[in-house]
């Protein structure tokens, strides 16, 4: 029996098989995960990320990240210290917010692998299109919670699971580096089990708050 990588329960059951790729669902936390044998290698992951068009001058991507940018501008003073976790090849949100006066550190296991930034704590953490890539989400969310100061916010952007009947045609699952998908129940499980005071879900934007 395989263990759910998010809640660590041995409650994974068959969900869908699409083009020979098996997807499993956890009856405990209600996440859906790609079967582990279909996880990409580190080399394949990096090659895929290098294809992302996250140029900081790209107007389309600047518009795409506005939900996180606007949330921070409205809720965090410029004296706040942030971390862009999983910054990727082009840390667009960081550049936008630095221009507004914020101080933000970068971490990415492939492109900004300085683990010293993980020794500090932050007023906010940015995880834009990152959490669906987590191979060990239980460990990753524990780390992210540890890195937040009291009153801090973890800001994620991802697409939530569609209805099961629509999963087969859902484009988001087709990215080979996307290995876990979250339902509203999954996010509420994360909030309750990693000691966040609340979670607010607004479309693609998910904000976990610390008391």
> Residues 17-23: contacts with CB within 8 Å, 24+ apart?
18/167, 18/168, 18/173, 23/167, 23/173
pTM given for the model: 0.95
Q: Which fold does the domain 12-209 belong to in CATH?
A: Rossmann fold (3.40.50)
The answer to whether the beta carbons of residues 58 and 96 sit under 8 Å apart is no
The set of residues, in sequence order, having a beta carbon less than 8 Å from that of 127 and lying 6+ positions away, is 85, 86, 144, 154, 155, 156, 157
- pLDDT tens, the chain, 211 aa long: 589 999 999 999 999 999 999 999 999 999 999 999 999 999 999 999 888 656 666 777 788 899 999 999 999 999 999 999 999 988 999 999 999 999 999 999 999 999 999 999 999 999 999 999 999 999 999 999 999 999 999 999 999 999 999 999 999 999 999 999 999 999 999 999 999 999 999 999 999 999 9
Task: Give the relative orientation of helices 66-75 and 92-99 as an angle to the nearest 10 degrees.
Answer: 30
SS3 for 15? strand
Q: What is the pLDDT of residue 1?
A: 59
């Amino acid at each position: 029996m395989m263990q759910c990588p998010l809640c660590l329960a041995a409650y994974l059951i068959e969900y869908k098989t699409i083009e020979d790729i098996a997807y499993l669902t956890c009856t405990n936390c209600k996440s859906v995960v790609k079967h582990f044998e279909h996880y990409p290698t580190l080399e394949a992951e990096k090659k895929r990320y290098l294809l992302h068009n996250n140029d900081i001058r790209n107007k389309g991507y600047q518009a795409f990240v506005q939900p996180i940018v606007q949330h921070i501008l409205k809720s965090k003073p410029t004296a706040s210290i942030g971390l862009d976790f999983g910054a990727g090849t082009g840390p667009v949100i960081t550049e936008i917010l630095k221009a507004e006066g914020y101080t933000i550190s970068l971490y990415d296991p492939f492109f900004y692998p300085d683990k010293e930034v993980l020794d500090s704590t932050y007023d906010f953490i940015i995880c834009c299109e990152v959490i669906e890539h987590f191979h060990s989400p239980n460990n990753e969310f524990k780390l992210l919670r540890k890195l937040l100061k009291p009153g801090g916010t973890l800001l994620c952007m991802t697409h939530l699971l569609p209805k099961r009947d629509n999963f087969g045609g859902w484009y988001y699952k087709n990215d080979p580096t996307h290995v876990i998908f979250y339902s509203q129940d999954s996010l509420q499980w994360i909030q309750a089990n990693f000691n966040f005071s609340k979670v607010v879900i607004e479309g693609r934007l998910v904000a976990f708050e610390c008391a």
